Structure 1
């Protein structure tokens, strides 16, 4: 389990970020206006929670970064992921269970031109939620757990990138040593303060 901890954490974080991005374009709430026509307006996730899309993109970036960073940044990014997960879970839970007027205010204002919290609230007849807020809330709870998991297991992640860099460096050095020096090697020697003309002849 620990040997695959990095992969598990990264996959969960990226998946949750992707759900957040997709959810931001879907209808979260339907608001019916008490304006005589009783028309319904669809409220997407990005309107219900303005920070949903940018924070979801940030989660995707954190997931990708966790796959390559060193130990210290694993702790930092893991903790940041958990904080974002907790914040988004709190905001999403409010929309999912309370249906606040503030979540539909931007959509109502765009459709009617009416501004002000009291004026918008007076115009709203009812607000109903789709399944998307609950689905997204589950994703944020998983994201919070994934961030905590990343912090707890970060010290035991396999540092595959370091081994690759070491092998690559050794291969390059071996290749350089197995061929005669050329003009580029001579310039490199000069930049280090060595005089290539002082080399002993083979």
Structure 2
């Protein structure tokens, strides 16, 4: 599990961010208006929770950055992941029992009527869609992943090890005698092997 901690953290973070972005465009609430003709309005996630789309984009950015982050940044990104997940989880949880603030912008746009009291008088009923629990579950999982990142960050495999290994394997070459293989390597790099001092 620890060996794949980075991959798991990145994939789950990107997935949670993607769910947030997609759900921000989907219907979260249906509002029944008491305006004489009883019609229904669909309220998208971005209207119910205005910070949903921008914070979901931030989660996507965190997921991408985690794939190359060093030790210090892992802790910073882990803390940000926990914070953003907690905020979004709380705001999404509140939509289980939506009130006027969650539907006001959509009602105002459709009717031209503004003000909390006026909008409240128009609303005859509200109901939520499955996108609310789906998105809420994504934030709960993201919160757990944020804790996981903080707990395992020190044990993640470093992304710079490949380059360190390459440097380590090429360094001894300078201390050994020059041979025909080195001449071919020089030619492949566009260098003149005859210009090298004889060993």
Q: Give the unaligned 5+ runs of structure 1.
A: 183-198
Equivalence for 2:27: 27
Q: Calculate the aligned-residue CA RMSD, in Å.
A: 2.5
Q: Cα–Cα, structure 1 residues 163 and 99, in superposed 2: closer, same or farther, change >3 Å? A: same
Q: Cα–Cα, structure 1 residues 155 and 114, in superposed 2: closer, same or farther, change >3 Å? A: same
Equivalence for 2:177: none
Q: Give the unaligned 5+ runs of structure 2.
A: 175-181, 190-194
Equivalence for 1:40: 40
User: C-alpha distance in 1, partners of 2:166/2:130?
Assistant: 50
Q: Cα–Cα, structure 1 residues 109 and 172, in superposed 2: closer, same or farther, change >3 Å? A: farther
- Secondary structure of 1:114's counterpart equals coil
TM-score (norm 1): 0.83
Equivalence for 1:2: 2
How big is each residue's C-alpha offset from its partner over 1:136-161, in whole Å with a ceiling of 9 and x where there is no partner?
101100000000100100000011x2
TM-score (norm 2): 0.85
How far is the alpha carbon of 1:164 from its aligned partner?
A: 2.0
- Secondary structure of 1:158's counterpart equals coil
Q: Cα–Cα, structure 1 residues 123 and 149, in superposed 2: closer, same or farther, change >3 Å? A: same
Q: Cα–Cα, structure 1 residues 39 and 172, in superposed 2: closer, same or farther, change >3 Å? A: farther
Alignment of 1:83-98 (within 5 A): 83-96=83-96, 98=97
- Secondary structure of 1:37's counterpart equals coil
How far is the alpha carbon of 1:101 from its aligned partner?
A: 1.0
Aligned length: 185
